[in-house]
């Protein structure tokens, strides 16, 4: 039985919707990074999305763990035309509300829907579990990515999954069981 330790990357301090923009992470809280590294299993493999904020965070907490290649499918939601905009500056507020209030097939202009994000992340998780059966996996990714797996683990709708907070440098632990998933912790701050 594998455990997945989802770690949200260090903060970017950006305001607005940050999806596929490749922003750097603020890794100045070295004490918190050390606590995070100590909280994770030493024999785990570690993977990250290919975006700089996740790569740098993963590199900072790898220690002696086996570091895997970056996984593009662990990228944040692609916000398309809404990328880096503040909520109140998006022209079509009704479209924005539909995206968050009825997540599913609604997509930002030029972006991806919640269902598309879930399918992308689920594929990545399946590849990792097949490549490293029975191993603990630390995955450094993004809030939306982690929420897809919270939804999967709790077997709730997307709207319910969105009610969970996922802070920077937090750990969300899921365990793969023979008959499904168990959520052990959500948003644990070491």
* Interval 79-90: pLDDT, tens: 999 999 998 999
Region 163-190: mean pLDDT is 96
Residue 1 has pLDDT above 90, yes or no: no
Nearest alpha carbon to residue 50 among 120, 109, 113, 116: 120
Region 125-154: mean pLDDT is 97
Region 66-95: mean pLDDT is 96
Rounded to 5 degrees, φ, ψ at 176 are -85, 120
Answer for the pair 78, 19: CB distance below 8 angstroms, yes or no.
yes
pLDDT at position 59: 98
Does 3.40.50.1240 match the CATH number of domain 3-188?
A: yes
pLDDT at position 73: 98
At 98-135, the pLDDT tens digits run: 999 988 999 999 999 999 999 999 999 999 999 999 99
3-state secondary structure of 118: helix
C-alpha separations of 145 from 73, 90, 133, 148, 150 in Å: 9, 23, 21, 5, 9
Domain ranges of the chain: 3-188
């Amino acid at each position: 039985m594998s455990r997945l330790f989802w770690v949200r990357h260090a903060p970017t301090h950006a305001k607005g919707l940050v999806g596929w923009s490749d922003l750097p992470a603020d890794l100045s809280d070295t004490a918190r990074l050390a606590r995070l590294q100590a909280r994770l299993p030493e024999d785990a493999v570690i993977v990250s999305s290919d975006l700089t904020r996740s790569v740098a965070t993963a590199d900072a907490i790898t220690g002696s763990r086996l570091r895997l290649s970056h996984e593009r499918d662990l990228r944040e939601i692609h916000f398309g035309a809404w990328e880096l905009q503040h909520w109140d500056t998006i022209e079509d507020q009704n479209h924005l509300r539909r995206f968050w209030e009825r997540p599913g097939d609604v997509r930002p202009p030029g972006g991806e829907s919640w269902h598309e994000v879930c399918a992308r992340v689920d594929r990545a998780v399946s590849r990792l579990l097949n490549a490293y059966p029975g191993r603990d996996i630390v995955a450094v990714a993004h809030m939306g990515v982690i929420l897809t797996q919270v939804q999967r683990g709790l077997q709730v709708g997307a709207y319910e999954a969105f009610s969970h907070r996922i802070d920077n440098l937090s750990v969300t632990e899921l365990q793969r069981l023979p008959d499904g998933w168990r959520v052990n912790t959500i948003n644990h701050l070491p």
